[in-house]
Amino acid sequence: MDAPLWTEAHAPSIEELPQPTARDYLGKASAEPLNLILHGPPGVGKTAAARALAREAHEDPENDLVEINVADFFDRTKKEIRNDPRFEPFLAGRSRLSKRDMINHVLKESASYAPVSGTYKTVVLDNAEAIREDFQQALRRVMERYARNTQFVITTRQPSKLIPPIESRCFPVRMRAPTEAETVEVLARVVDREAVEYDDGGLRYVAAYAEGNLRAALLAAQTTAEQEGAVTMDAAYEALGDVGHGGAVEEMLGRAERGEFADARKTLDDLLVDEGLSGPEVLEELLAAGRDRYEGNEARLARLHRLAGEVDLEMSEGNSDRIHVAHLLAELGREA
């Protein structure tokens, strides 16, 4: 999509979140800073909720909200971390730090500087299920040291992956998948703002298509509007009925085999972020592409299935989809 994503252009306020319980807890946290764990399945609005909280709580959220996606660290090389413009100021002149020390330093620096407005700032850690236990211990110490001027918001699909000392310092907020009716309400608000023609059947079709993944629903509605000019039942069926990402996945597979890992990972990011696919959905499409590509080459197909099985198990345990699907792509290129 060339246009701004609706997930970004229409970021919700706390009052617009579709989960009533989450709205209540986040409303209280905006008035009195609390460390929070926002947990729930992919695409339900955990990160959007954390940003809504910051916009409500801070006069200058652009400067008093710090977002760190765990994949920004654990799926990157030292050079990539050091060259990231968000982290570069913290790491200037510290090229000899180990990757672990780099991460710890960025966490400490992010938590230590004074808020621009008010008495505290908010640090959001996304996809925290992928943080190793030793790094969680370091995070615990940072949380203790800077508790007076920093609110920590941790998002995760699997809170059981967090160590007890972190759990005990945070209030848990469950972000359940929105119902079909709640998804339709969100979609109606967004298409109204976009001045896009729609009907109830079209919104219900998109909501059912997304199966509780609000991010996927918004991206599907945007795809329908851009391709068909409206979000009606007929338009949604035309745009989404045969939707697939086979071409992009086939291209990603080919790049991985040729050892073009950076390009393959960029396609993976497009599928996970821009297209709103989950890790298991990307894996399913990879296997479908592999069956066509490796027809007659049973050894290559068997290897792809073995790697996919390992990744599927890791993702089911709550680890980062991006990290593990990227690992599969790297392995395909390593022995190509």
Query: Vertex 152, ends 147 and 154: CA angle to 5°?
Result: 145
Q: Is 180-240 a domain of CATH 1.10.8.60? A: yes
> CA torsion sign, 265 to 269 to 270 to 272?
positive
Q: What is the dihedral of CA 77, 79, 85, 86, to 10 degrees?
A: 40
Q: What pLDDT, on a 0 to 100 scale, did the predictor assign at position 286? A: 87
What is residue 238's three-state secondary structure? helix
The type of residue at 303 is R
Give the torsion through C-alpha atoms of 44, 47, 50, 54, to 10 deg.
Answer: -130
Question: What was the pLDDT predicted at 1?
Answer: 57
Which tokens in the block code for residue 125?
Answer: 């850690």
Which tokens hold the place of 167? 């759990």
The CB density around residue 254, as the number of other CB atoms within 10 Å, is 16
Could you list the beta-strand ranges (E) of 63-211. 65-69, 121-126, 150-156, 171-174, 197-198
Return the residue matching tokens 């009195």: 32
Q: What pLDDT, on a 0 to 100 scale, did the predictor assign at position 155? A: 94
Q: What is the pLDDT of residue 318?
A: 59
Strands (E), the chain: 36-39, 65-69, 121-126, 150-156, 171-174, 197-198, 230-231
Cβ atoms of 100 and 133 within 8 Å: the answer is no
CB-based contacts of 191, cutoff 8 Å, min separation 6: 198, 203, 221, 225, 231
Q: What is the pLDDT of residue 172?
A: 95
Domain with CATH 3.40.50.300 in the chain: 19-174
Specify the domain boundaries for CATH 1.10.8.60 within the chain: 180-240
- Which residue ranges does the chain devote to CATH 1.20.272.10? 246-334
> Rounded to an integer, what distance in angstroms lies between the CA atom of residue 218 and that of residue 183?
9
Q: Look-up: residue for tokens 């509780």?
A: 212
Domain 246-334, architecture per CATH: Up-down Bundle (1.20)
Q: What is the pTM of this model?
A: 0.75
Q: Which CATH class is domain 19-174?
A: alpha beta
- Per-10-residue mean pLDDT of the chain, 336 residues long, equals 84 96 92 92 93 94 88 76 83 80 84 88 88 84 90 92 92 95 97 97 92 92 95 91 71 85 84 77 84 81 85 71 78 70
**Location of structure tokens 């009716």:** 181
